[in-house]
Amino acid sequence: MTNGTAAAMLLSDLIAGKENSWATLYDSTRAAPLTSTHLYQVGLEEAVHFFKDRVTGSEAKEIPDVGPGEDGNIGKR
């Protein structure tokens, strides 16, 4: 509810042509505070992990290769 009130105040000021000190804080085109090269590096590493581990699949190439009580990555339980 607080954000709704802030948005209403900001929008009414923008429509009326008044300057609002919060306008830069809520500007959708500003850079996010957490945007950094480290954030992109972590995202890339996660994407590579997802692709290698989830998309390419397990070592088992066909369903008969996986026996009862096994899965392709962990083995027997």
pTM (two decimals):
0.37
Residue 62 and residue 39: Cα distance in Å, rounded?
37
Q: What local confidence, expressed as pLDDT, does residue 77 receive? A: 47
Residue 23 and residue 70: Cα distance in Å, rounded?
57
Q: What local confidence, expressed as pLDDT, does residue 12 receive? A: 94
Domain extent listing, the chain: 2-59+70-74
> Tokens 């954030």, residue?
39
For residue range 17-73, list pLDDT tens digits in order: 999 988 888 887 776 666 678 878 888 888 888 887 776 665 655 666 666 777 656
Contact yes or no for 55/63 (Cβ under 8 A): no
Residue 55 and residue 37: Cα distance in Å, rounded?
26
> Tokens 């209403």, residue?
8
Helix, strand, or coil (residue 41)? helix
